[in-house]
Amino acid sequence: MALGAMVLSPRFAEAHAANPPEGPADLWAAWTLDPIVLVGFVAIVAGYALGVGKLWRRAGAGRGIAPSGVASFTAGMAAFSVAMVWPLDALGEILFSAHMAQHIVLTAVVPPLLWLGRPVILLWSVPRQLRSHVGAWLRIRPVRTLWTWMTLPLPAFLLEGAILWGWHAPGAIAAALENEAVHAAMHLSFLVGGLLFWHALAHAGRRRGTGYAETAALSFLTMMHTGLLGALLTFTPRPLYLAYGDSPLAWGLTPLEDQQIAGIIMWVICGTIYIVAGVLLLAAWLGQIERQNVSAPSFLSEYESARPALRLARSDVRPYPKSEPG
């Protein structure tokens, strides 16, 4: 919610198109230094650090959340700064390939890193009374029901797919470049869609009826439809995003080459992320099956354990004496 508020802030809309880099020499100055974004970013990082500190002081260092989780959350916030502060935000005004990279970072890089870092720890940085109020609000039935439905694998998969395909239509890209409110809504929807889908992936197997196999299949399907979009952009013989004009020429690229690079980024990089996620989910599924097989004794193992008793019982059996003819 905090990241979304930063994306949609009016000051962010003003700073979004300020001083886009006209060439490689301007890249180091292509910062989007919006005060609200920076203050919100620092507040989230500081709040998370404070929450981790409080948790570790009470439970012991490394308990409650491992150092690897803290490193994951830190990496997620660093990726968010790459997408929204420097350099992709300003560079995306000039190059469609940079815009595509920004979308992938917001959709497929930031969300899994944040979920692995357990962002709920941010609540430890607020007073106990406020924390209890937040918890009570989250337990309201309509809020809980809506959240449960939106983070189910299939609805989250469909929502993220619609966002990816809808916003990459040439008309949608042109509208985003012309209108800063539309552009901010685009970024917010990519982030929210990614957070919902990756929540379903990160919590696979923890809910009744949503196992690892289902989420792994949806991860592979996401790889397939993002790969299809990337292939379309790569092999289309003419530029589709005319709103960029000839701006890629200053970077040594034709508009078609810029589009082809964007397609490869979507096809290869984004596809690789979802392949890795699917493989990890399949490995977790196989591990779950193996644990279930180990915990459930087989008939053969039961028979082997009962063999000594069976031998003893057979040794105690005496044959009936032959009956004499009557």
Q: Where are the domains of the chain?
A: 2-291
The pLDDT-based confidence of 299 (bands split at 50, 70, 90) is very low
Q: Report d(CA 260, CA 231) in Å as an integer.
A: 9
Peptide bond into 308 cis (omega under 30): no
The pLDDT-based confidence of 44 (bands split at 50, 70, 90) is very high
pLDDT, tens digit, 9 for 90 and up, residues 134-157: 778 888 888 888 888 888 899 999
Give me the amino acid identity at 90.
A
pLDDT, tens digit, 9 for 90 and up, residues 257-268: 999 999 999 999
The pLDDT, as a whole number, for residue 11 is: 44
Q: Which of 76-80, 121-125, 147-151, 299-303 has the highest mean pLDDT?
A: 76-80
pLDDT, tens digit, 9 for 90 and up, residues 161-192: 999 999 999 999 999 999 988 998 999 999 99
Reduced 3-state DSSP string for the chain: CHHHHHHHCHHHHHHHCCCCCCCHHHHHHCCCCCHHHHHHHHHHHHHHHHHHHHHHHHHCCCCCCCHHHHHHHHHHHHHHHHHHCCCHHHHCCCCHHHHHHHHHHHHHHHHHHHHHCCHHHHHHHCCHHHHHHHHHHHCCHHHHHHHHHHCCHHHHHHHHHHHHHHHCCHHHHHHHHHCHHHHHHHHHHHHHHHHHHHHHHHCCCCECCECHHHHHHHHHHHHHHHHHHHHHHHHCCCCCCHHHCCHHHHHCCCHHHHHHHHHHHHHHHHHHHHHHHHHHHHHHHHHHHHHHHHHCCCHHHHHHHHHHHHHHHHHCCCCCCCCCCC
User: pTM of the entire structure?
Assistant: 0.82
The pLDDT, as a whole number, for residue 128 is: 82
The pLDDT-based confidence of 159 (bands split at 50, 70, 90) is very high
More reliable by pLDDT, 129 or 77: 77
**Whole-number mean pLDDT of the chain?**
84
Q: Is a pLDDT exceeding 80 seen at residue 254?
A: yes
More reliable by pLDDT, 57 or 189: 189
pLDDT, tens digit, 9 for 90 and up, residues 62-108: 778 889 999 999 999 999 999 999 999 999 999 999 999 999 999 99
Q: Is a pLDDT exceeding 70 seen at residue 296?
A: no
Q: What is the CA radius of gyration of the chain?
A: 28
The pLDDT-based confidence of 5 (bands split at 50, 70, 90) is low
The least confident of 44-58, 96-110, 139-153, 220-234 is 139-153
